[in-house]
Amino acid sequence: MIRKIAEVRETGELFSSRTLDLAAVMPLAQEILTAVKQRGDAALRAYTEQFDHVTLTNLAVMEDELAAARTKVDENTLSCIEAAAEAIRNFHYRQKRKAWLEEFTEGIYLGEMFMPFDVVGAYVPGSYFSSALMCVIPAKIAGVREIVVCTPPMKDGTVDPHTLVAADLAGATTICKVGGAQAIAALAFGTETVPRVQKIVGPGNVYVTAAKMAAREAGVEIDFPAGPSEVLIIGDETANPAFIAADMLAQAEHGAKSQAVLLTTSHELAVEVERELTAAAPAREAGVAQHWLLVGESLDECFAFANEYAPEHLELVVREPMEALKRIKNAGSVFIGNYAPVAAGDYATGANHVLPTAGYPKLFSGLDVDHFMHRMTLQWLDKDGLARIKEVVVQSCRAEGMEQHAQSVEKRFSADAAH
Amino acid sequence: MIRKIAEVRETGELFSSRTLDLAAVMPLAQEILTAVKQRGDAALRAYTEQFDHVTLTNLAVMEDELAAARTKVDENTLSCIEAAAEAIRNFHYRQKRKAWLEEFTEGIYLGEMFMPFDVVGAYVPGSYFSSALMCVIPAKIAGVREIVVCTPPMKDGTVDPHTLVAADLAGATTICKVGGAQAIAALAFGTETVPRVQKIVGPGNVYVTAAKMAAREAGVEIDFPAGPSEVLIIGDETANPAFIAADMLAQAEHGAKSQAVLLTTSHELAVEVERELTAAAPAREAGVAQHWLLVGESLDECFAFANEYAPEHLELVVREPMEALKRIKNAGSVFIGNYAPVAAGDYATGANHVLPTAGYPKLFSGLDVDHFMHRMTLQWLDKDGLARIKEVVVQSCRAEGMEQHAQSVEKRFSADAAH
């Protein structure tokens, strides 16, 4: 059904359907956190039996399991993993910030240094080797010493070989066969096997997300809350309806709660996309995402709606994309042109596919090197430099009633100052 | 009393004394949050009567109040505020990240854009005009549209004129006469007068911090938790004991819970600093901070302890500071040399003085322009660019079981693709 942007904006239905409702699962997530905090590995084993239906001998992946996984990955797939890893490294190296120190006033040098976290954790859902690359490589480039990956075991007690090989190749230092909320709990509090981490990143289902939010309250940082995946496409008459429909169908593979939204100034485009979607009904029903076809009066109306929606993925397929880009304020990643499907970014361009959803792109940035670093400022003054700002500092201290602060500066210029 | 680093490290006493204990005040902070969420301005007025002992007619500062404040700030102080603002602007402009777009592979352009938050809030304790500058200027430089400052009223219903003039000069768009946990509640939920914000920054007492943590759980971002101020000084035989003692005494002005720690390889330096502190007993008792004088076997031992402590302010006064700097991993801001007292950074160098404490520098960066921005990645592919990675994408999609994702790429190269 083709509808008007203004109408859907008015009802707010598209926005209200995306709130991250964790309340229903939070009690179980909290219970799991408490159990793992108290009982460590024993709780992990019990939950793994309960949820993954497997009894594990070792929770951490051993060297021989890694070797066995390598034999199970065919050459083609391995070269895909390696090509993706290289592209991800190239992009994320470019992202890494460099220390700097500059003389702002004679004798006053200011700067910044960027330091990696020491220990981080990444949650990787079962068979997504691409997510292993996306989570681990930025941490490695940041310089994180210990990178712990948790990923659920299969029923035979092994881990998906693609995921295992990718996590190892990306630089994971420990890989544990734990999934779900219990994995987040293990990373947050540490167990006999799983190291306690400073920050947990990576995608996951609603239990994983609930556990991450609860872990954040317990003092462990997280990347950001994430819900079902979504794509919003802004297209004008230059957009190819078959490509748009294909991307909307791909979105459906992320499940019934994922959304695919087309905003267009061209009623004809909307009609053609609808025709393509109808023709592809079998594929569509396999996923059954929420598909929305919305027509607006102007591109301005599309931009305003998109900024309010703040999509995880935004495709811009318009005649003047650079002009359009100036108007976009909130999105996880922006895909530009008829030949930039989300799938390309999911696997191979090198940009990160771990992105906030459900409007959180207004507040959070997708996974990047910065997520694994903190910053120190540097202030280096010589005697002349301090002399230059002495009066401002001393007067300001006294204006705020900080007499000892004032004297700490004056002391450096008093007769008895030896150096 | 002079003690050994190794001994204090072993007992852990210096670390255990800095945990941010919010549990005692959290129930009241939560109660205030709920009341303000439910009753808005009426609750703000009631709490202001209860805690600040003043009945307000208007919660927002009016133009005539601002004009009146300007007449109360003497010329000297005004020029200090202006000089500090200029230095803060210079440093924070240098910090601002620029959009970029680069061709990584022929036909594949990747990049980043940095976008400001739309509405942010800053909490400024009563008479600290410097904090108003430190919170508002980075937000202004980020490009934030609406910057709401909350600061407690004095008993006569006015706001400290220095703070008011500084907040206005820095670029605040709304200034409200509300303090404490009720200010954080107002910014988190919005009231008739106080706009609801996306992120709350700025220093405050334990109630303010508790309210910020509770607000974060309610979905508003914050800068970071902050407790009592602290300085850790690493000095060798090149450090001036009088300067160190002066900085430790200045720290005492932040109250009984603030800490000042000297780590040194020179027992003589520790003895001289102790002598200076004893001589300054009256000044010291005015504040009564926790003073620690610790002697280590080597600079390495000092660095290891400092990195574990992760101080808000770290002074490095050693013969080879650049060598030392390579060893520092965790600190809010590093002050280098005999002429870089913390007081200079508090007021005039231009670096930000709103910094994490209590070990949080391991996880958080001090206030900066990045705190007010989020990032979008850009992915622009032309047909040749997509063709170059097509095989990797399609194979990867299928390896993860994402058939429609694979087809969304193949569709662009099929015979019926019109564009």
Does some domain include residue A388? yes
The pair of structure tokens assigned to A373 is 């670093």
A381 contacts B344? CB cut-off 8 A: yes
The percent of residues in chain B predicted with pLDDT above 70, rounded, is: 97
Q: How many Å lie between the alpha carbon of A174 and the closest alpha carbon of chain B?
A: 21
Does some domain include residue B66? yes
Query: Are residues B65 and B184 located together in one domain of the fold?
Result: yes
B321 contacts A350? CB cut-off 8 A: no
Put the strands of the sheet holding A199-201 in their side by side order: A174-176, A146-150, A119-123, A199-201, A221-222
A87 contacts B411? CB cut-off 8 A: no
Q: Do residues B216 and B32 lie in contact, with contact meaning Cβ atoms separated by under 8 Å?
A: no
Does some domain include residue B103? no
Sign of CA dihedral A341, A346, A351, A357: positive
* Residue B197: closest C-alpha in chain A: A363
Q: Which residues of B touch A402 (CB under 8 A)?
A: 250, 253, 343, 346
Q: Which residues of B touch A364 (CB under 8 A)?
A: 374
- Write out residues 85-144 of A within 8 Å (CB-CB) of B: 87, 90-91, 94-95, 100, 102, 104-105, 108, 110, 112-113, 115, 117-118, 127-130
Query: Are residues B143 and B254 located together in one domain of the fold?
Result: no
Does some domain include residue B168? yes
User: Which of A372, A379, A412 is most worth mutating to test chain B (most B CB atoms within 10 A of its CB)?
Assistant: A379
The model's pLDDT over B1-19, given as tens digits with 9 standing for 90+, comes to: 899 999 999 998 888 778 7
As a whole number, the mean pLDDT across chain B is 94
Q: Of B207, B222, B237, which closes a domain?
A: B222
Does some domain include residue A58? yes
User: Which of A312, A392, A402, A407 is most worth mutating to test chain B (most B CB atoms within 10 A of its CB)?
Assistant: A392
Query: Are residues B201 and B255 located together in one domain of the fold?
Result: no
The pair of structure tokens assigned to B219 is 């979905």
Q: Cα dihedral angle (A161, A163, A168, A174), rounded to 10 degrees?
A: -100
Residues (pLDDT < 50) of chain A are 419
Side-chain-facing half-sphere of B381: CA atoms under 13 Å: 27
* DSSP state letters, B300-343: HHHHHHHHHH--SEEEEESS-HHHHHTT----SEEEESTT--HH
- Looking at the complex, does the CB of residue B344 fall below 8 Å from at least one CB of chain A? yes
| Secondary structure tally for chain A: helices H, strands E | 18, 14
* Residue B239: closest C-alpha in chain A: A419
First to last CA, chain A: 80
Sign of CA dihedral A329, A330, A333, A338: negative
- Separation CA B79–CA A404 (nearest Å): 22
CATH code for position A211 = 3.40.50.1980
Side-chain-facing half-sphere of A60: CA atoms under 13 Å: 13
Q: Which residues of B touch A396 (CB under 8 A)?
A: 77, 80-81, 84, 130, 346-348
Q: What is the pLDDT of residue A141?
A: 98
- Looking at the complex, does the CB of residue B366 fall below 8 Å from at least one CB of chain A? yes
**CB pairs < 8 Å spanning A and B:** 359
Q: What is the pLDDT of residue B256?
A: 80
Query: Are residues A194 and A255 located together in one domain of the fold?
Result: no
B380 contacts A337? CB cut-off 8 A: yes
Query: Are residues A272 and A416 located together in one domain of the fold?
Result: no
Report the interhelical angle of B161-170 vs B129-142 (nearest 10°).
10
Q: How many Å lie between the alpha carbon of B30 and the closest alpha carbon of chain A?
A: 15
Please choose, from the candidates B302, B297, B301, the residue with its C-alpha nearest in 3D space to the C-alpha of residue B317.
B302
A411 contacts B199? CB cut-off 8 A: no
Does some domain include residue B248? yes
b/e per residue A285-317 (b: at least 16 CB within 10 A): eebebbbbbbbbeebebbbbbbbebbbbbbbbb
CA B72 to chain centroid: 29
- Separation CA B174–CA B120 (nearest Å): 11
Q: What is the pLDDT of residue B37?
A: 98
The model's pLDDT over B213-238, given as tens digits with 9 standing for 90+, comes to: 999 988 899 999 888 999 999 999 99
Does some domain include residue B247? yes
User: Which of B240, B333, B408 is most worth mutating to test chain A (most A CB atoms within 10 A of its CB)?
Assistant: B408
- Looking at the complex, does the CB of residue A335 fall below 8 Å from at least one CB of chain B? yes
Q: How many Å lie between the alpha carbon of A251 and the closest alpha carbon of chain B?
A: 8
Q: Of A182, A201, A222, which closes a domain?
A: A222
Q: Do residues A150 and A176 lie in contact, with contact meaning Cβ atoms separated by under 8 Å?
A: yes
- Looking at the complex, does the CB of residue A388 fall below 8 Å from at least one CB of chain B? no
- Write out residues 227-266 of B within 8 Å (CB-CB) of A: 238, 240, 242-243, 246-247, 249-250, 252-253
Please choose, from the candidates B340, B339, B338, the residue with its C-alpha nearest in 3D space to the C-alpha of residue B269.
B338
The pair of structure tokens assigned to B50 is 């209860």
The model's pLDDT over B43-96, given as tens digits with 9 standing for 90+, comes to: 999 999 999 999 999 999 999 999 999 999 999 999 999 999 999 999 999 999
- Looking at the complex, does the CB of residue B193 fall below 8 Å from at least one CB of chain A? no
Q: What is the pLDDT of residue B419?
A: 47
Q: Which residues of B touch A238 (CB under 8 A)?
A: 419
Q: Tell me how many domains chain A contains.
A: 3
Specify the DSSP element, H or E, that contains B374: strand B373-381
Catalytic residues of B: 312-313
Q: Do residues A197 and A171 lie in contact, with contact meaning Cβ atoms separated by under 8 Å?
A: no
Query: Are residues A162 and A290 located together in one domain of the fold?
Result: no
Of B112, B329, B381, the CB nearest to A344: B381
Specify the DSSP element, H or E, that contains A344: helix A342-347
Of A344, A385, A392, the CB nearest to B339: A385
A345 contacts B115? CB cut-off 8 A: no
Query: Are residues B183 and B52 located together in one domain of the fold?
Result: yes
Task: Report the alpha-carbon angle B120-B331-A374, nearest 5.
Answer: 55
* Residue A419: closest C-alpha in chain B: B240
Q: How many Å lie between the alpha carbon of B58 and the closest alpha carbon of chain A?
A: 26
Q: What is the pLDDT of residue A416?
A: 65
3-state secondary structure of B255: coil
* Residue B127: closest C-alpha in chain A: A400
* Residue B12 neighbours by CB under 8 Å, 6+ apart: none
Going through A124-196 in order, the beta strands assigned E by DSSP cover 146-150, 174-176
Does some domain include residue B304? yes
Q: Of B190, B207, B222, which closes a domain?
A: B222
Query: Are residues B42 and B151 located together in one domain of the fold?
Result: yes
Q: How many Å lie between the alpha carbon of A399 and the closest alpha carbon of chain B?
A: 7
Residue B288 has pLDDT above 60, yes or no: no
Query: Are residues B62 and B45 located together in one domain of the fold?
Result: yes
A337 contacts B249? CB cut-off 8 A: no
Q: How many Å lie between the alpha carbon of A254 and the closest alpha carbon of chain B?
A: 9
Average pLDDT over residues B191-218: 95
- Looking at the complex, does the CB of residue A20 fall below 8 Å from at least one CB of chain B? no
Catalytic residues of A: 312-313
A380 contacts B336? CB cut-off 8 A: yes
* Residue A406 neighbours by CB under 8 Å, 6+ apart: A393, A394, A397, A398, B343
Q: Which residues of B touch A343 (CB under 8 A)?
A: 393, 397, 402, 405-406, 408-409
Structural domain span for residue A64: 22-95+115-222
Which phi and psi angles does A102 have, rounded to 5°?
-135, 145
Query: Are residues A38 and A128 located together in one domain of the fold?
Result: yes
Of B79, B368, B383, the CB nearest to A339: B383
Distances (CA, A) of B19 to A188, A342, B231, B274, B309: 18, 45, 16, 26, 11
* Residue A99 neighbours by CB under 8 Å, 6+ apart: A111, A112, A113, A114
3-state secondary structure of A359: coil
The pair of structure tokens assigned to A276 is 């393509």
Q: Which residues of B touch A403 (CB under 8 A)?
A: 253
Query: Are residues B192 and B234 located together in one domain of the fold?
Result: no
User: Which of A124, A316, A354, A377 is most worth mutating to test chain B (most B CB atoms within 10 A of its CB)?
Assistant: A377
Task: Say if strands B221-222 and B199-201 run parallel, antiparallel, or are unpaired.
Answer: parallel
Query: Are residues A214 and A247 located together in one domain of the fold?
Result: no
Q: Report ipTM for this prediction.
A: 0.95
Q: How many Å lie between the alpha carbon of A292 and the closest alpha carbon of chain B?
A: 18
> At B284, is the pLDDT very low, low, confident or very high (cuts 50, 70, 90)?
low
Residue B349 has pLDDT above 50, yes or no: yes
Distances (CA, A) of B146 to A281, A330, B139, B140: 46, 17, 9, 9
- Looking at the complex, does the CB of residue B30 fall below 8 Å from at least one CB of chain A? no
